[in-house]
A and B are shown apart, each in its own frame.
Chain A
Amino acid sequence: MPQTRPSAPAPQTAVPKPPAPPPEFQEGAISTMDAPALIHILTDAGSPECQKAKACQRVGELGAKEAVPALSALLADEHLSVYARYGLEPIPNPSADDAQRAALSKLKGKQLIGVINSISKRRDGKAGPSLAGMIYSTDADVASAAAAALGSLGGPAPAKELQAALAKTKGATRMAVADASLVCAERLLAEGKRDEALALYTSLSASDMPKAVRLAAMHGVIREETSINWR
């Protein structure tokens, strides 16, 4: 039986080129610039916002620690804060952690929440005490973000802070603390701290805990005590 070959794709009609973006939205040569040139863009008050955003991304990709001061200065900027964190998060140097930790006491609202989330992403253990205090913030969103960040740090000290916060918080914040405690327990198990993890699970199994949290905690206890690894 003769083989039939698929017909060749129909020739594409010429697609009109999209219009060029206005000058203030043009990236220019940023993707090929080195760190000093990018820092110049970040610190020049006359640089368009779009170029500053692109420069933030690029210094992060380069991992340029010399850009940390310039990025830190943008953490409070309503539009550029997220781009500053975009730059800081991948920089492997500890100065990026120092900068974000220092910003915790200077920021508020969404910019503060963003920095807390980035600290969580980098798992900066030195931020533990500051985050523990923020669980009691009057801003419920800040409190929830701080609890989540503390949980992601893992380790005995954050576990202790979260256990204490379970007894002192209520409503949405307490739910966030409980969620964070479950994450913290997983971290403790991953670090080989089984006894601490089981103690945290036991706290979360108490009858006054939300049902979903109790179920998750009991599942954790049963999983560990029967040595069945479902993960």
Chain B
Amino acid sequence: METGDATKIECSDNIKPLLRPTESASLALENHMNELVRCIKTRQPTSASAAAAANSHVTCHAAFIAYQRGKRLTWDTTKHEFTNDEVANHMRSRALREPWRI
């Protein structure tokens, strides 16, 4: 798990030996900030845009739903629904505890 701009990556002990960073954490942070400034100047979206974040989360949730359903699922990125499992579609969202709403 990346811990934001703290230049740290947290992970469980069993996968630490598998990590092979290609650049130092401080360089990654510098690139991160440089890109933000460049995107402000050029009016371009950043690599870690809202859409990228949303799609990352959708991928994780879809994988967990597939795990819960115990089957391979197919996701329609346009309709935002599974194409081959109606039960999985019913698991895409859940009621929020009152009084919270989005």
Which A residues are within 8 Å of any B CB, using their own CB? 6-10, 12, 57, 60-63, 81-83, 85-86, 88-91, 110-111, 113-114, 117-118, 120-121, 141, 145, 148
> Is B4 an interface position by the 8 A CB rule?
no
Task: Contact check, B90 vs A110: say whether CB atoms are below 8 A apart.
Answer: no
> Is B13 an interface position by the 8 A CB rule?
yes
The 0/1 profile, CB within 8 Å of A marked 1, for residues 61-102 of chain B is: 000000000000000000000000011011101111111110
B14-22, B23-31, B33-41, B52-60 - the one binding chain A: B14-22
B-side interface size class: 20 to 34
Q: Which residues of B contact A9 (CB under 8 A)?
A: 14-15, 17-18
Q: What are 25 A-B contacts with C-beta separation under 8 Å?
A: A7-B17, A8-B17, A9-B14, A9-B15, A57-B94, A63-B86, A63-B87, A63-B90, A81-B98, A86-B94, A88-B95, A90-B90, A90-B93, A110-B98, A110-B99, A113-B98, A114-B95, A114-B97, A114-B98, A117-B98, A117-B100, A118-B95, A121-B93, A145-B99, A145-B101
Task: Contact check, A10 vs B18: say whether CB atoms are below 8 A apart.
Answer: no
A-B interface contact total, Cβ < 8 Å: 64
CA distance A9 to B94 in the complex (A): 37
Of the residues B18, B87, B94, contact of A62 by C-beta under 8 Å? B87
Q: Which residues of B contact A117 (CB under 8 A)?
A: 95-96, 98-101
Q: A81-B98, A117-B96 are in contact. List 18 more A-B contacts (CB 8 A).
A: A6-B17, A8-B17, A9-B14, A10-B13, A60-B90, A61-B90, A63-B86, A63-B90, A82-B96, A83-B95, A86-B95, A89-B93, A90-B91, A113-B98, A114-B97, A114-B99, A145-B99, A145-B101
Q: Which residues of A contact B18 (CB under 8 A)?
A: 6, 9
CA distance A82 to B95 in the complex (A): 7
Cβ-closest chain A residue relative to B65 = A61
CB B23 to nearest CB in A, in angstroms, measures 17
CA distance A58 to B99 in the complex (A): 23
Q: Which residues of A contact B89 (CB under 8 A)?
A: 90
Cβ-closest chain B residue relative to A111 = B98
CA distance A167 to B65 in the complex (A): 46
Q: Which residues of A contact B101 (CB under 8 A)?
A: 117, 120, 145, 148
Task: Contact check, B98 vs A62: say whether CB atoms are below 8 A apart.
Answer: no
CA distance A90 to B95 in the complex (A): 9
Q: Which residues of A contact B13 (CB under 8 A)?
A: 10
CB A13 to nearest CB in B, in angstroms, measures 10
Task: Contact check, A62 vs B17: say whether CB atoms are below 8 A apart.
Answer: no
Cβ-closest chain B residue relative to A88 = B95
